[in-house]
Every structure is written in C-alpha cells, then in structure tokens.
Amino acid sequence: MRGKLAAGNWKMNGVAASLAEVESLVLSMGRPTCEVLLCPPATLIHRMSVVASGNIKIGGQDCHAKTTGAHTGDLSAAMLADAGASYVIVGHSERRQDHGETDAVVQSKASAAITEGLVAVICVGETLEDREAERTLDVIAAQLDGSVPDTATAATVVVAYEPVWAIGSGLTPTLEQIGEVHDFIRTNLNARLGTTEGDAIRLLYGGSVKPGNAAEIFAVSNVDGALVGGASLKAADFGPIVDALSNA
C-alpha cells in the first residue's frame, strides 16, 4: 500500500504572522492517516519546522543543482535540509515558465535533492494548448523521461501531475482526465523503473484542489494525494483536504 500525502505549496505567500495558520492546522487535524507536508517560502522553513513540531513535514519550493557556489539568490538542497526541510518541489510549471527550466535542469535538481536526503516532488503537466491539441500524454511522457532521475525510488521521489491550465484558475480536469493521466504516469514509471519502484512511487494531483472536490479526486485511480496551492494557506481550507485524504 502506498502512503498518502497531502502537500501544500505556499508559493510566494507567508510571513511570520502566517505561522498561526500552521498552529491551527496542527491543532485541528488530530492524527491524520496521511502524511502532511507544507512548502513555505524559504524565509519560513526553519520557523515553520519548529511550529509544526514534527506533526507536519516541511519542504522547500525549489533548490539549485549545485551544493555551493557563486549563485546569488539560490539555495542548495543541503541548505534546505539544514533549515529543517525534508522535501523539495522541483519542476513546478511556474519555475518552468518563469525561469525557463528545462527537463534536464529539473532532473539535476531532483538528483541534488536526493543526494542531500530530501524527497523530490517532481512536477509535470500540460498547457491548455497541449490539452486542446491532444498532446497531453506526449508532453507528460517527455517530462517524465527528462525530469525523473534513473535512480528514482519510492523513498526519494514523488510525482505531482499539475495541468498548467488548472493551477489557480478554478478549472479542474474531469475525473476521467485525471485518471487517464495518473494511470499513464504509473505505466510509464513501471516500464522505466520496474514494478517494484514504479508501483510504490506516490502520485499527487494538483490544480484547483479544494475542500469541495478533494474527496472525489482522491477516489480516482492512482491518485495518492494532492499538491495544493491557495487552499493550503488557511487551516480552514487545508484541514478538510487532509481529512478527505485520510478518509479516502
């Protein structure tokens, strides 16, 4: 049985006062049967890890592929781990689009994260243009092949499917579309990594996940959790998503 993971990506949101939401989440969620992860801005990683008190895992939103060097403004995986992170998101569509990150760059970051003992949450997803042109599975296949390291295991990698057109838009693919892509990802990982690892790697869905649609999404084949954006900022929104996954 694969473990379930409810992950929240705070993106460029959150200051010290926002940690009150984490305290509320810890108090309200009790003992969920799923793993819970929050990825705040780097400025909050250490403080959030203290507030979470081990009840919630903490992750970074990106890392550099190098351990040290002249890379002003970047953070290495080792630095994130030192601050209290145990996960890191790599290859998010906003990084791919805003910073021109290629699959090769994403793979190098994932490998760096694994080397430093972090679990890499590798994001893949198609644009609306890709979806309308019926290129979705081709795009996902290319991103998986280029972004997931050959050394990936269930202990070191999570794959998150986030259709770019659904992120923050309020739009959500149909359950059939979500299932099709997640089943495809599972088949791809099995073929490449073998069924022992391919079947064990957790697959998350992301893109306008909310308390109102979480339960039906978690019932879809090969959906092992969610990578949640805006709804992870407030305990009142993220808590019910955690509950829905615990009960899935």
Q: Which residues of the chain have pLDDT under 50?
A: none
**Selected catalytic residue, list 92, 94, 182, 197:** 92
Distance CA 55, CA 40 (A): 15
Q: Please give the pLDDT value at position 167.
A: 84
CATH number, domain of 201, equals 3.20.20.70
Q: How open is the CA angle 200-206-209, to the nearest 5 degrees?
A: 120
Q: Please give the pLDDT value at position 165.
A: 92
**Selected catalytic residue, list 21, 162, 182, 197:** 162
Is 34:246 a contact under the CB 8 Å cutoff?
A: yes
Q: What are phi and psi of 40, to 5 degrees?
A: -90, 175
Residue 191 Ramachandran class (φ > 0 left, ψ -120 to 50 alpha, else beta)? alpha
Its domain, for residue 77, covers 5-246
**Would you call 94 a catalytic residue per the annotation?**
no
15-68, pLDDT tens digit by residue? 999 999 999 999 998 889 999 999 999 999 999 999 998 899 999 999 999 999
Count CB atoms within 10 A of the CB of residue 212: 11
Q: Please give the pLDDT value at position 30.
A: 82
**Would you call 182 a catalytic residue per the annotation?**
no
What's the pTM value of the predicted model, to 2 decimals?
0.97
Report the domain count for the chain. Answer: 1
